[in-house]
Chain A
């Protein structure tokens, strides 16, 4: 029987892959429904019904329809507390608060500069778009500063929110993966001892390897 859990979007999308990583960590079966963004399918009237901003992913299960990858991830964790990685969103309020803090830090401090860099360095060339060197330099500098903060934190704590891998670390996987593997910016991570150690651990998780496989298969 087909699972009612559906994720709409291409696995190459960073936000889509964030949700896929979470579903796989939580051992929740799902169907991936492709959305051809090159053909503008994400702006079609049908798609706008499930994601009015015309962005990916959109998520559906038997109970609800949601968008925003980090909200989808939290929902999956809350709905399936006993499945897969039980501590992914913490098992008590203080742990959850720390995870939320670092998911927000990812969303507000890591995501903006890393997204610009991923687009400029990995996607723009493939789309035959001209790169903006000044934008690249500015955002490299911003990201360096953010990773300096991470390096200090990761010297005090094995993972961002505490001793266990959580949604906070998971949330970073998509952009960081492209920076290291498609944008030749691995040095951003390897030049900082604790960040390097952390990146090595989180990127070698089985769940992330499966997402990377899905990305490769989709090309």
Chain B
């Protein structure tokens, strides 16, 4: 059974899901949603995702939205296939969850707003708010300082192995480094830099980047 993933392959939240499916070797089919054309707000799509956001998945009769819920589901369903993205003990799993929540609440909004102001709005021919962008950047510096401290104690955010916590950061950091000119946030921090280097060179991520460049 092929998992249908609704969303554009170039958008961050669908990429979070696709990275996970690729890590777990789960077959998927991408149903492209044209955000510029407002496909995500049309009645058809709202049946899949009532908030009008991407991604949503359909796996047979099973439907789910919210990328971090989707990756938790598949990481658990295919726990014994491919890399263990969840941790082994109850405590390890809780740490994975903790850093996944950190990404969702302390990291994601800052990256989203920064990228919106510096990349997305200009691409649409609109003026970005450079003061807001600067505020986000300054806050992100502090977040990355904490990541630097954490990653000096363990190779990955939740411990010694790559997990959903690290995976969840891949799309946002790619945007920062490759599209928003914010690579220095990563490269100026020794452990964050090494971590990004490792996680962005994972075969599954590289495969996704290949697919997204077509």
Contacts and interface: CB of A to CB of B under 8 A. Distances in A.
Interface residues of A, number: 32
B50 A68 contact: no
Nearest to B76: A93
A37 interface: no
Given A66-B94, A93-B77, A97-B72, A52 B50 contact: no
Contact of A78 (B69, B93, B102, B149): B93
Contacts of B44: none
Give the dominant DSSP class at B's interface.
Answer: helix
A178 B65 CA distance: 28
A146 B100 CA distance: 23
Nearest to A145: B51
A71 interface: yes
Interface residues of B, number: 30
Contact of A100 (B73, B102, B143, B146): B73
Given A71-B98, A94-B62, A52 B90 contact: no
A101 B94 contact: no
Interface string B183-195: 0000000000000
B151 to A, nearest CB: 12
Interface of A: 52-53, 63-64, 66-68, 70-72, 74-75, 78-79, 93-94, 96-98, 100-101, 103-105, 107-109, 112, 146, 149, 152-153
Chain A to chain B: the 7 pairs with minimum beta-carbon distance, closest first: A104-B66, A68-B101, A100-B69, A71-B97, A75-B94, A71-B98, A101-B69
